[in-house]
Amino acid sequence: MTDDRTRRPFRLALGAKHLKRDVDQEIEFHIAMRTQALVDQGLDAETARARAIAQFGDSAAVREECVTIDTQRSRAVTAAERLSDIRQDIAYALRTLHQNPAFACIVILILALGIGANTATFSVIDALMLRPLPVSHPEGLVTIGDPQATHRLSKGTPESDIASYPGYADLRDGNHVLAGLYATGMTSRLDVVIDQTPASTQPGPTEAEHPHGRFVTGNFFAVLGVGAIAGRTFAATEDRVTGADPVVVISYAYWRNRFARDPAAVGRPVIINGARFVIVGVAAPDFTGDIVGQPTDVWIPITMQPVVMPNSPWLAKRDVSWLLLMGRLAPGVSLETARASLRVLETRSLLENAGAERRYLETALRDKPLQVGPGARGFSYYRAAFASAMFTLTAAVAMVLLVVCANVANLMLARATARGREISVRIALGAGRMRLVQQLLTESAVLAIMGSACGLLVAWWGSTAILRLAAAGPKPIPVDVRLDWPVVAFTIGLSIATTLLIGLVPALRATRSDVASALRTQGRDSGVETTHGGRLPLGKGLVIAQVALSMLLLVGTGMLVRSTERLEHADVGIARDQLIIAEVAAQRSGYTDARMNSLVRDLMARAAAIPGIAAVSVSENGIFSGTESATSVQVEGFTARVDSDTAVMYDDVGPGYFNAVGAHILRGRDFEARDNESAAKVMVINESMARFFFPHGDALGRHITADSAVWAVVGIVGDARTNDVRETPSRRMFVPIVQMRHPPGTFRVELRTGGDPARLVDAVRRALMASDPSLVVTDVSPLSSLIRESLAEDHLVAKVVSFFGAIALVLSALGLYGLMAYATARRTTEFGLRMALGAEPGAVIRMVLAEAMALAGSGIVIGLPVAVAASQLIRGRLFHIGVFDPPSIGIAVIILAITAAVAAYLPALRASSVAPLAAIRAS
Amino acid sequence: MDDLDVNLTRGTLDLLILKALSWGPRHGYAVSDWIGQATGSALQLGEGTLYPALHRLERQQLVVAEWGLSENNRHAKYYRLSAAGRRRLQTGVSSWHRFVEAAANALRATAPVPAA
């Protein structure tokens, strides 16, 4: 007998009142007994009692001490009992789930899907938007400039978003608010050859590889507080003299993948773009740079930039903005103080060196002052680019989880109802309601926890899937998604919420049962529904909710898919489906000004000779290539009201450009071969530019001053969207590429094909290389795939939301099926009677189907206005689709109706095949 | 009484209570009576002192309490030894004997340093 622990068969109240009463009673008993004993010895009753009380001593003190001790004991007992209750409940839950493994598996699977989808989305959000950089004291870091400008390179008028090297030096040397300020800059593609020493473990030919590099100032690692796991990081002095420090630090990942963690990698020479460097160290394992989503493999001292990129030395140039700046606040300096101080410094630095652009810069800085923000999370292009996508996804997965919970709650309800008699008996025997609710909730919790555990696995796979879907190319966005503690905490929170959502209502409902009636029905059916009409309406409500939520997701899916389709096939103003764009890095291949023009002509001639090519031209900036040029112009007879009025986009292009890309010349002419270096300078402007500068007259023949030269307008071309399908076309001008003072170092060849451009990609590459085998042709792609890449985010959202829509649909179908199967099984007798009385099986089927349709219909009717309202939230993502989109709604309704019919058909069929006699006899 | 005496008394009292219960369940009054008779009233305790000790033993799960009817048909709280209480009694008695013997030896000493 476990007599050491008081285990009470019935739970009695252990209140303070009880304890006091018991102690009083005990003391009173003692005094009474002693009095009696004294009376027996011959004392009179009064004297005896007084003597007994005196012998007892200070009874008030005794009483108090006893009550204190008992209170402590009762607390310990209650705690122990509660613990043992929980243990019992868990054991009981596991036992009942084990008795019904199919139920448990289905519920866990469904929950895993719902929780996993949410965790996956959250883990991506965590990695992209929440997690601080793995550096020491990230909270002290500040970004200076635009933290999203990780892809930007701007030549021309300096700006405050990104910095030039002299501009960086001004801020670094002039400020008193930062303990340190470093700069990092993008590299061109690196051709890295790792020297094959005899000791090398990497056999094979020395072929160039192309790790991701970044130029950094010498204090980069020191400011971040990142150490080396092997060798050393840079010394602050390793950016003093241009070209003097041929050293690199590599990332842990590169060290692991390329050198198999060989300690001898430190000290190895490497050839980067033809120049000899030495690896001096490997950075700490977690550290992949300060840009989230763009891990760096190789860090190079910034003063080596002219050595690595000899054709574009940027160090001395104030008009080349290419650097991201990050500082560490000096002790005691607030972000606001630093921001104010750095703005003053930045303005002075830019204006003192501005020259002719001073006025423009003043306006620009007033409109858009220097950004100084918290730098703990580093820089990221993806953070901003995918913020709205992640928001849409979060909404979608939250809805999926709600559908999941409604579904599981329904299953739990059915289970609790099936156990109605057991529960009634236990209530009749005196079990507390809260105790039973706790027991039923424990079962939900066990399911939710198992579901969450499996959900973490789903999330692990799912987050990679999201990043893979989001990336344009075959590789996922390289974000380090981990199931770290914020993610796990999020999942735990979800599982608690899920437990309550799936368990609380069924548990309360089941234990509300009226004891007498439940016992009377002998447990053949639960008393719950007959007495309260409870189970069916609640179950119905949950199914309707699922259908309504599915409606929401399906309508959203329809709108996003249709919007993406429209984006992909939108008319951008050029022959988008016939173009191939090839990128030629001529300068890297050794071509300079004079030879460049002949290269352009040679390439055009070769490309035009490819069978299947209808027209060829070239341009500096491509179409959907991500590069863009802007300048300011003076137009005769036009007075600018604000400085930005003079800003235009421009491109320098080859002869026959507009014909080649399929743009529409509205007036005037295309460029021709006669517009050469020695001919008069001419330009073609687009419709927007013509309307803006010449609202009343004809633009043709007018003159525009740009780049210190005067150009005559010879043509007006229709507006085209050449960077983003969604963009509003801006004012844009085109000049002949050969009339530029300096031809561009990289240009694109545009080829219009007769048929499918994808088939000609190889032929184009061969033809271009045939001109000069050493020519660097970096990319040859059909325009349609470039456009598709620019729509990666839309694809991601459409695909993922479709996927979740499908999940919700399947779950709703399961829910509806379960409900109908249950309802028809309960009415076996009724169907039997109907058939006995002559009802056709078809009539029974129609009856059951009609009920299912009524449920689905209610869900649709409730979901429709909600869906239309919710579309407002994704309005920003939609392209040429209104927030009320009848096709999407129609499709959603049809899909839901068909799903409902399919889900109800099997139960209907079963109902119609009831043998009348058997059914009646069974009752 | 100073602290030393209290501790000594409390440990001794616990032991005496456990001993009193070693013959079967008793209520507090009976325990008090037994201790009085068995010690020849040498301990001079207030009878009430017994109860906190009993409740403390109950909290330590050395005794188990149950309400029952007394010989004269009154509600009384009966205490009995738990298994742990019985074990404590055994170890308590033997260590008490050791303690008393050691203390008695020490008190009988005639020289400042014990003979080597």
Q: Which residues of B touch A72 (CB under 8 A)?
A: 59
Instruction: Report the distance separating Cα A873 and Cα B108, nearest Å.
Output: 95
Q: Least CB-CB distance to B64: which of A3, A22, A26?
A: A3
Give the pLDDT band of residue B2 (cuts 50, 70, 90).
very low
Rg (CA), chain B: 17
Beta bridge partners of B77: B67
Amino acid at A276: R
A599 Cβ contact list (under 8 Å, min separation 6): A586, A591, A771, A772
Average pLDDT score over residue span A418-443: 80
Distance from C-alpha of A401 to C-alpha of A121, rounded to nearest angstrom? 12
Cβ A178 vs Cβ A329: under 8 Å: yes
The 8-class DSSP code of residue A725 comes to T
Which domain, by its residues, includes B31?
Answer: 3-107
Containing A281, the helix (H) or strand (E) segment is strand A275-283
Structure confidence at residue A777 (pLDDT): 82
Q: Are A444 and A501 in contact (CB under 8 A)?
A: no
B47 touches chain A (CB under 8 A): yes
The answer to whether residue B27 neighbours chain A at the CB level (below 8 Å) is yes
Quick one: pLDDT at residue A203?
A: 46
State the Cα–Cα distance between residues A225 and A321, nearest whole angstrom.
26
Nearest CA in chain A to B66: A6
Please tell me the least confidently modeled range out of A122-126, A286-290, A593-597: A593-597
Cβ of A73 and B55 within 8 Å?
Answer: yes
Q: Could you tell me how far CA B75 lies from the centroid of its own chain?
A: 24
CATH number at residue B42: 1.10.10.10
Chain A residues near residue B59 by CB distance under 8 angstroms: 69-70, 72-73, 76
Measured CA to CA, the distance from residue A777 to residue A766 in angstroms comes to 10
Closest chain A residue to B85, measured at CA: A4
Q: Give me the pLDDT at residue A576, please.
A: 86
**For position A195, what pLDDT does the model report?**
64
Residue B53, domain member (yes or no): yes
How far apart, in Å, are the Cα atoms of A675 and each of A109, A215, A507, A593, A747?
69, 40, 84, 17, 18
Dist CA A51 CA A49 (whole Å): 5
* Separation between Cα atoms, residue A249 and residue A268, nearest integer Å: 11
Q: Does residue A627 have a pLDDT over 80?
A: no
Residue B112 lies in a domain: no
Share of chain A above pLDDT 70, in %: 92
C-alpha dihedral (A572, A576, A582, A584), degrees to nearest 10: -20
A627 close contact with B: CB closer than 8 A: no
Confidence of residue A520 (pLDDT cuts 50, 70, 90): low
Q: Which residue of A has its CA nearest to B54?
A: A66
Does any domain span residue B115? no
B114 occurs within a structural domain:
no
Residue A77 has pLDDT above 70, yes or no: yes
Question: What pLDDT sits at residue A892?
Answer: 92
* Chain-centre distance for alpha carbon A536: 39
Tokens (6 digits) for B89: 């009694």
* CB B79, CB B26: distance < 8 Å: yes
pLDDT 10s digits, A243-271: 899 999 999 999 998 888 999 999 999 99
- Measured CA to CA, the distance from residue A561 to residue A3 in angstroms comes to 69
Quick: pLDDT tens for A196-209: 554 444 444 456 78
Split into its structural domains, chain B has a count of 1
Check if the interface score ipTM surpasses 0.90: no
Nearest by CB to B52, from A5, A25, A65: name it: A65
pLDDT in tens, A561-591: 999 888 888 888 888 889 999 988 887 777 8
The rounded distance, in Å, linking the Cα atoms of A43 and A41 is: 6
DSSP E strands: which ranges in A163-251?
178-186, 192-194, 213-216, 228-231, 247-250
- Dump pLDDT digits (tens) for A814-866: 888 887 887 787 787 888 888 888 888 888 889 889 988 999 999 999 999 98
Q: Which residue has the higher pLDDT, B82 or A696?
A: B82
> Of the candidates B46, B55, B75, which has its C-beta nearest A57's C-beta?
B46
- Dihedral class, residue A288 (left if φ above 0, else alpha if ψ from -120 to 50, else beta): alpha
Determine, yes or no, domain membership for B113.
Answer: no
Q: How far is B33 from chain A (nearest CA, A)?
A: 9
Question: Domain ranges in chain A?
Answer: 16-85, 138-383, 385-567+793-922, 579-754
Q: Is residue B62 part of a domain?
A: yes
Report yes or no: A679 and A644 within 8 Å, Cβ to Cβ. no
Flag whether B56 is in a domain. yes
Please state, in angstroms and rounded to a whole number, the distance separating the CA atoms of residues B51 and A573.
Answer: 99
Taking residues A398-418, what's their average pLDDT?
83
Among candidates B29, B48, B77 on the partner chain, residue whose Cβ is nearest the Cβ of A33: B29
E strands present in B1-114: 26-27, 63-69, 75-81
Asked if residue A736 has pLDDT above 80, the reply is yes
Q: Which pLDDT score, from 0 to 100, does residue A923 have?
A: 55
Task: Give dist(CA A610, CA A764) in Å, integer.
Answer: 7
Closest CA to A239 of A171, A178, A315, A164: A315
Cα–Cα dist A419/A437, whole Å? 13
What is the model's pLDDT at position A860? 93
How much is the pLDDT for A891? 92
Cβ neighbours of residue A102 closer than 8 Å, sequence gap 6 or more: none
Chain A residues whose beta carbon lies within 8 Å of the beta carbon of residue B75: 25, 29
* Closest CA in chain B for residue A54: B46
- Residue A238, pLDDT above cutoff 70: yes
**Separation CA A248–CA A213 (nearest Å):** 10
Half-sphere exposure of A293 (CA within 13 A, CB side): 27
Distance CA A784, CA A794 (A): 15
Minimal Cβ distance to A30: which of B28, B58, B64: B28
- The residue whose two tokens read 């014990």 is B114
